[in-house]
Amino acid sequence: MDSTFMTATAHTNIALIKYWGKKNAFLNLPTTSSLSLTLDRFYTTTSVSPSETSTDTFVLNEQVCDATRVHTFLKILRTQLGDFPPLHVSSDNHVPTSAGLASSASAFAALTGEVVAYLGLDLPKETLSRLARRGSGSASRSFFGHFAVWHEGVDDDSSFAESLHAPDMPIALIVAEVSGQSKKVGSSEGMMRAMTSPNYDDWVKQSANQFDDMTAAVANADIEKIGAIAENNALAMHALNLTATRQPFTYFTDETQLILSLIKDMRRQGILAYATLDAGPNVKIVTTKAQAPEIVAALHDYLPQLKLDVAVSGPGITYD
């Protein structure tokens, strides 16, 4: 096989129990375990080939761009996998980059899987997950389809994600794209600030309880409960940003707030709709496949310009 032409595809995942803080920034060990749903609609494809220069090179969406993070990560892979010659990395994001739609998750999962396959290594997904974690924490969860859990662990070996075996369920996630623009406060910076909130330790404790409740809700295919816990967990995460003692901030815009209040209204009318938000202004709505069209229609009536996509559970990493 000519591995030059092989491509890895990894899908983004949305955390229902969030990762928002590092207990070890060098190893990228999180302060909490997290739990996610992989999405079918948003993904990254990455291929590698020998570099034509003496250094690693990187092209994203056919454009040369800042390669610092890719360079740093390839260096880490060389320490973990053994040295390999300079690579040319070519990647395409089928998801907005740096907009709080988890491009770093699909990106570093695809890059890890691609480099490992290119080197002819056959490693279990849990090992790939451990490696990808060093590129971006959320990437550790993107090797697995459907639901995944990232165990926070205590060291490099014990911090990785695995599949959370769950029954099939008609869960849907509506992505309301308030802005596809690159965020001003990147995830790594945002969580460093959040950790200076006086409420941070309480959030970590609460997260452990919510993680257990969420695991049970997933096992019971209880979409209402999944949504309710996810919303609580996410809003508490965003409250940390506001209450940071060092450079408090928010990812929310007026439109974010409006969508959140519309979701509340829908709930009062008996519709199953709960919000979760990542490091950006975009709102993801947990609902059922059956109720998604109704929610999309209601939001569209109110905000005709708003870009809305309905995602369902997506697959793990693939190679072709």
Of the candidates 121, 122, 139, the residue with the CA atom closest to the CA atom of residue 130: 139
Using CB under 6 A as the binding rule, whether residue 187 contacts ligand DP6 is answered as yes
Which residue carries 């459907």 as its tokens?
A: 146
Choose from ligand ADP, ligand DP6, Co ion, none: what does 207 bind? Cβ within 5-8 Å by kind.
none
User: Interface mask (CB under 6 A) for ligand DP6, residues 90-129, using x and -?
Assistant: ------------x-x-------------------------
Question: Per DSSP, which regions of 151-294 are E strands?
Answer: 161-163, 171-177, 274-277, 283-288
User: Interface mask (CB under 5 A) for Co ion, residues 95-124, using x and -?
Assistant: ---------x--------------------
Q: Which of residues 204-243 bind ligand DP6 (CB under 6 A)?
A: none
191 vs 273 by CB, closer to ligand DP6: 191
* 31: amino acid identity, one letter: T
Residues in a beta bridge with 60: 63, 91
H/E segment holding residue 43: strand 34-50
CB of 100 to ligand DP6, least distance (A): 7
Query: What contacts 290, CB < 8 A, 6 or more positions away?
Result: 170
Give me 185's structure tokens.
């406060």
70 vs 262 by CB, closer to ligand ADP: 70
Binding site for ligand ADP (CB under 6 A): 44, 60, 69-70, 91, 93, 97-104, 107, 111, 136, 186-187, 279-280
Asked whether the CA dihedral 175, 181, 185, 188 is positive or negative, the reply is: positive
90 vs 104 by CB, closer to Co ion: 104
Residues that bind Co ion (CB under 5 A): 104, 187
